[in-house]
Amino acid sequence: SFQSAQRVRAISVSEILRITDHANALKRAGRPVIVLGAGEPDFNTPDNICQAAIRALERGETRYTVLDGSSVMKAAVQHKFQRDNGLTFALNEISVSAGAKQVIFNALMASINPGDEVILPTPFWTSYADMVQICGGVPVLLPCSEAQGFRLEPAQLEAAITPRTRWVFLNSPSNPSGAAYSAAQLKLITEVLLRHPAVWVLADDIYEHILYDGLAFATPAAVEPGLRDRTLTVNGVSKAYAMTGWRVGYGAGPKDLIAAMAVVQSQSTSCPSSISQAAAVEALTGPQSIVAERCSSFQARRDFVVAALNRTPGLNCRTPEGAFYTFASCSGVLGRHTPGGVQLHTDTDFCHYLLQDFDVAVVPGTVFGLAPYFRISYATAMTQLEEACARIHAACAALR
Ligand code: PLP
């Protein structure tokens, strides 16, 4: 029988996908399930972007491109970093892949030796830990409590760095907490990193454009230019332009790292899709107004969900600065009993109860490395959110 390789034994298919698949299966079986699991905008890809892909097809751009991105795409990425972040990169400091996920994977494959440590603040996008493990590295999880705004404290980072530390990952705004760092907060982190010249920084900026209340986005390489020669800044078009299925992400950093990432990509996917790259060029260089419009509609949804959860007995929700997730505490419902007589011990029990008895699918904080919380992805229609929050309220009110 099949025996999987050692390197994949410690990892598994994302728990979020498993929960979402299960919820969708219940839905297909006729249950009125509302699925707030997936981290995917409900909007369509803007028309100008789709049209750019169609034009690329019509021009016959159906062949392999340069390994780690066509020159037109790299120029678009260069333009984006200059315009949005004030960061200047040469074309050989830019890498384009099938999603930000592949950029991160390539970077780890290209840099991690067995036993190398990667510092991951939690709650976090757990794919980071799985990818580190596939590459033979050791994920070092640093819990960032709600009391500290789900943000890494400088002293906590300082204490976690060892001679084996290869990378520190930062993700702002964060999946799942929605927490974001201001430039001043980030500066305190980068000051620590300046004292540790062997440690590299991976900034996952995929939620850059989903930031509320007029907050200014900040990224480590811009906040501390002294880190530029050991920072990989990762971003993509999935979340900002509702392009999850197109699979285009990009990263920028020191050219030797970028070159090593290209070697990895050359032996896996060769290059990102030519059509998708043409679409992404339009996304990055075309009109940007839709990004802000969509962000304000996400903000209205955030405001609704946060208020509804905070009115719900037993729940407590910090107001996230960005992304499209709430990460609410359910500690106030633990120990209580459902009408069916089941005692809720963990956030996973609570999420199970919401799905089984009230047809709402959300993801327990345990999946993201911090309990007892649950994540709602509010990238869905307001009517669905209203119904879901009413059900969550009813579920909590029914506990004894
Ligand atoms: N980084 C974070 C924090 C994410 O939440 C996601 C997607 O869920 C990604 C990266 C991957 O995005 P992409 O679609 O560009 O691979």
The model's pLDDT over 264-300, given as tens digits with 9 standing for 90+, comes to 999 999 999 999 999 999 999 999 999 999 999 999 9
Contacts of 371 (CB under 8 A, 6+ apart): 346, 347, 364, 365
Query: What's the pLDDT score for residue 6?
Result: 85
User: Quick one: how many helices (H) and strands (E) in the chain?
Assistant: 14, 13
**Which ligand 1 atom is at minimum distance from the Cα of 100?**
15
For ligand 1, is residue 236 a contact (CB within 6 Å)?
yes
What whole-number distance in Å separates Cα of residue 100 and Cα of residue 77? 13
Please compute the mean of the pLDDT values over residues 175-192 and round it to a whole number. Answer: 98
The ipTM, to two decimals, is 0.99
**Which ligand 1 atom is at minimum distance from the Cα of 104?**
10
Q: Which domains does the chain have, with CATH numbers?
A: 6-44+290-397 (3.90.1150.10), 59-286 (3.40.640.10)
Evaluate if residue 136 carries a pLDDT over 90: yes
- The pTM of the full predicted model, rounded to 2 decimals, is 0.97
Please compute the mean of the pLDDT values over residues 65-75 and round it to a whole number. Answer: 95
How buried is residue 298: exposed, middle or buried, by Cβ count under 10 Å (0-12/13-18/19+)? Answer: buried
What whole-number distance in Å separates Cα of residue 310 and Cα of residue 391? 14
> Terminus-to-terminus CA distance in the chain, angstroms?
48
For ligand 1, is residue 175 a contact (CB within 6 Å)?
yes
**Rounded alpha-carbon distances, angstroms, from residue 223 to 119, 148, 226, 400:** 20, 21, 9, 50
For ligand 1, is residue 99 a contact (CB within 6 Å)?
yes
Evaluate if residue 381 carries a pLDDT over 80: yes
Length of the chain: 400
Query: What's the pLDDT score for residue 19?
Result: 86
- Residue pair 152/121 in contact (Cβ under 8 Å)? The answer is yes
- The residue whose CB lies within 8 Å of the most ligand 1 atoms, and thus the one to mutate among 95, 124, 125, is 125
What whole-number distance in Å separates Cα of residue 230 and Cα of residue 222? 12
Per-residue model confidence as pLDDT tens digits over 17-65:
888 889 999 999 999 999 998 888 889 999 999 999 999 999 999 999 9
Residue having the nearest C-alpha atom to atom 3 of ligand 1: 175
Per-residue model confidence as pLDDT tens digits over 302-348:
999 999 999 999 999 999 999 999 999 999 999 999 999 999 999 99
Query: What's the pLDDT score for residue 72?
Result: 97
- Residue pair 175/207 in contact (Cβ under 8 Å)? The answer is yes
Distance from residue 241's CA to the centre of ligand 1 (Å): 13
Residue appearing with tokens 């025996």: 3
For ligand 1, is residue 312 a contact (CB within 6 Å)?
no
For ligand 1, is residue 100 a contact (CB within 6 Å)?
yes
Average pLDDT, the chain: 96
Distance from residue 207's CA to the centre of ligand 1 (Å): 9
What whole-number distance in Å separates Cα of residue 15 and Cα of residue 9? 15
Distance from residue 239's CA to the centre of ligand 1 (Å): 8
Q: Which two tokens stand for residue 205?
A: 């900026």
Distance from residue 100's CA to the centre of ligand 1 (Å): 6
